[in-house]
Each structure stands twice: as C-alpha cells, then as structure tokens.
Amino acid sequence: MYSQGLIGANTETQETPEFLAAFQARIDAEEKIEPNDPMPAAYRKTLIRMISQHAHSEIVGMLPEGNWITRAPTLRRKVALLAKVQDEGGHGLYLYSAAETLGVSREQLTQELLTGKAKYSSIFNYPTPTWADIGAIGWLVDGAAIMNQVPLCRCSYGPYARAMIRVCKEESFHQRQGYELMTSLAEGTEEQKAMAQDALNRWWWPSLMMFGPSDSDSQHSDQSMAWKIKRFTNDELRQKFVDATVPQAELIGLSMPDEKLTWNESKNNGQGGYDFGEIDWDEFWQVVKGHGMMNKDRINAKRKAWDDGAWVRQAALAHAEKQNQRKAAA
C-alpha cells in the first residue's frame, strides 16, 4: 500500500458535474482507483470510514478470543487460537496501511478508537465466557466476516482490494478451525454439547446483525454500491450467510435459536432459501451506542495497552534519534 507521502498536493478535487461523471465512468469501467488518483472527497471519506472501522474491528476482535489463549484446553487448540488472534492483528495492520494511503495516519486512527469516537463491529462487545465461544466466533463471526469480505476483494479502491485479498487468503483457516472446534464439542459429552448449543444461542443473532441494518434503513449503502466499494447489500449478504450456515448447524446436531426459521422454496429466485425471524434492532443499536456488556472493557483494554506502551515507543524513537546523531557525528 502506498504511503501518505505519495498523496500529492493535488488531492483537492474540483467536484464539477463533469469531474464526478468522469470518475463514475472509471468506476463503471471497473478501473481501480489508486491513492494518488483524483477522487471525490466523499469517496475518500467513505473509504476512510469503512476501512478504519474494519481495521478497528480486527484489532478489538483480538480481545474476546485472546481471552481464551491461556486457557485453551489442548496444545493443538492453543497454537491454532494464538495464530488466529495474531492473524486478526495482522489484518488490522494491513487495513490501517490501506487507510493510511487516503491521508489519515495510524496515530489519528488509533486516537479515534481509544477516545471512543470510532466505530467497530459491535459483535466484539459481546463476552466470551466459555470455551465454546471460541468455536462460535470462528464459525459464525468469521463466517459472516468472510461473506462481507470476499466481495471487498473486488472493491474499486486498489489498496483496500489488495489488503482484502490478503485478508481473505489468511482468513480461510479461521472459519474451519471454529467449525471443527464446535464439531468436537457437539460430538463430545452432554456438558460439551450443551456448551456448544449455548454458545450458538448467544452468537447467532449478533452474527446476523454483523451485516448491518436492513437495506431500507442503511444510510450508506446506495452510494457505496454505485462506487463499487460494496458489491452486495446488507440484506443480500445476510441471506447468503443464513443459507450457508443453517445446514452446517444441522450437520453437527445443533439448532439455531429461531422458531421462525423455515425453508422457503420460492426464495433466491426460486433456488430456495431460509426465512428467518425478526432481528432485535433495538439490541443492535444499544450495543452500537456503547451500552453492550463489553464496550467499555474493550476500549479500556486497548487504552491501557497503548498508554502502558508509550514509554516503549518513545524509547525506540529516542534510540533511533541517538543512532542517527552518532552516524552523523562519525
């Protein structure tokens, strides 16, 4: 990804109708937009918002799963979980890099997260009280994330698309490890099976909420679709996720906590799909607004890590400065 330094002084665009039409024509021709290309201010803003939220989600997402690294029940599970949480950190890093090509710095983005100004995926404000939550997150949360992310590999903004290709490649093991974990619980003792079902009950609805508000209520969808930042609507992706996931649950003897879940032949242009119950959007918005069980804990944990690490970052910079001076003096 390109640096901030590559963005010239000419990024201020004259947003005449001709300019906007020419930009839209490039998008319609499936041309990729690169960091130093002229772009409408709103396109830039939308991307910064999307990419940074995505990056923050990866970073905060390290915490609920990280909660179980030291307690993973076998060494095999422990290394898989540690590698997975590490990957989330890597994905956050790739995405911050992509956002930085648009003229914001990592420091700015970090401050926005730490001051609670930035949004991140609300799913990570739910707690992970049991080991089965690690399975549920891998299977459902990463599963939902993949639905969202695969189309982003074709996003019109080059650095975001490239970061997403890398993310998707790495993420492919995440969902499998989660589902495998759930499978071994579902095949285990009564206690283990109950633990798996309980986790599914708690994570199913929040997973569906991950796709965002219904298309009719989403303020950002239309323009993002026109700019080919997004390729599918929230509801389309949610439906795909439900259709893919319900059979996976059935296969291992678990059931979705939704009495209204039924197969509907006529859905998806006659290919069939699942009808499902009403999502509790009030819960969604409450958690988005900061009232979830873990919102404050998550931000406090990130703030503590950042504050505790300040002296380390300063020391590294001070040492680099000393070395430069020594080199200059030599």
Partner 1 sequence: MTEHKDHLKVALLQVADDHLILGHRLSEWCGHAPMLEEDLSMPNMALDLIGQARHLYTYAAELEGLQRSEDDLAYLRTDREYTNCLLVERGNIDFAHTMLKQLYFAAYMKPFWQFVEGCSDNTLSAIAGKAVKEISYHIRHAGEWVIRLGDGTDESAERMHLAVETLHPYTEELFWIDEHRKICIDAGLLPAADVVRPQWDATISAVFEQAKLAIPEVTYPLLGGREGKHTEAFGYLLAELQYMQRAYPGAQW
Partner 2 sequence: MSDEKMIPLWEVFIRPRNGLNHKHVGSLHAADGELALQAARDVYTRREEGNSIWVVRAEDILASDPDKSAENFDPAADKIYRHPSFYDIPDEVGHM
> Does 191 help bind partner 1 (rule: CB under 8 A)?
yes
> Does 329 help bind partner 2 (rule: CB under 8 A)?
no
Closest to partner 2 by CB, 166 or 193: 166
- The whole-angstrom separation of Cα 195 and Cα 74 is 17
> Does 107 help bind partner 2 (rule: CB under 8 A)?
yes
| Nearest distance, CB of residue 111 and partner 2, angstroms | 5
- The whole-angstrom separation of Cα 229 and Cα 202 is 31
State which of positions 77-106 bind partner 2 (CB under 8 A): 86, 90, 93-94, 97, 100, 105-106
Following DSSP, what letter does each residue of 175-209 receive, concatenated? HHHHHHHHHHHHTS-HHHHHHHHHHHHHHHHHHHH
Measured CA distances, 113 to 48, 182, 318 (Å) = 13, 32, 26
- The whole-angstrom separation of Cα 298 and Cα 114 is 10
Closest to partner 2 by CB, 66 or 158: 158
Closest to partner 1 by CB, 67 or 223: 67
Stretch that binds partner 2, among 55-63, 208-216, 217-225, 302-310 (CB under 8 A): 302-310
Q: Which does residue 107 touch among partner 2, partner 1, none (CB within 5 to 8 A, set by kind)?
A: partner 2
> Does 4 help bind partner 1 (rule: CB under 8 A)?
no
State which of positions 153-182 bind partner 2 (CB under 8 A): 163, 166, 170
CA 310, 313, 316, 320 dihedral sign is negative
* Nearest CA among 47, 46, 166 for reference residue 99: 47
> Does 253 help bind partner 1 (rule: CB under 8 A)?
no
State which of positions 22-61 bind partner 2 (CB under 8 A): 34, 36-38
- The whole-angstrom separation of Cα 266 and Cα 28 is 32
Q: Which does residue 19 touch among partner 1, partner 2, none (CB within 5 to 8 A, set by kind)?
A: none
How many residues does the structure list for the chain?
A: 330
Structure tokens given for 54: 């995505």
Q: In this structure, what are the phi and psi dihedrals at residue 36, rounded to the nearest 5 degrees?
A: -90, 10
Element (H or E) spanning 82, and its range?
helix 75-100
State which of positions 69-98 bind partner 1 (CB under 8 A): 69-79, 82-83, 85-86, 89-90, 92-93, 96
* Binding positions for partner 1, rule: CB under 8 A: 59, 62-63, 66, 69-79, 82-83, 85-86, 89-90, 92-93, 96, 106, 131, 181, 184-185, 188-189, 191-192, 301, 304-305, 308-316, 318-319, 322
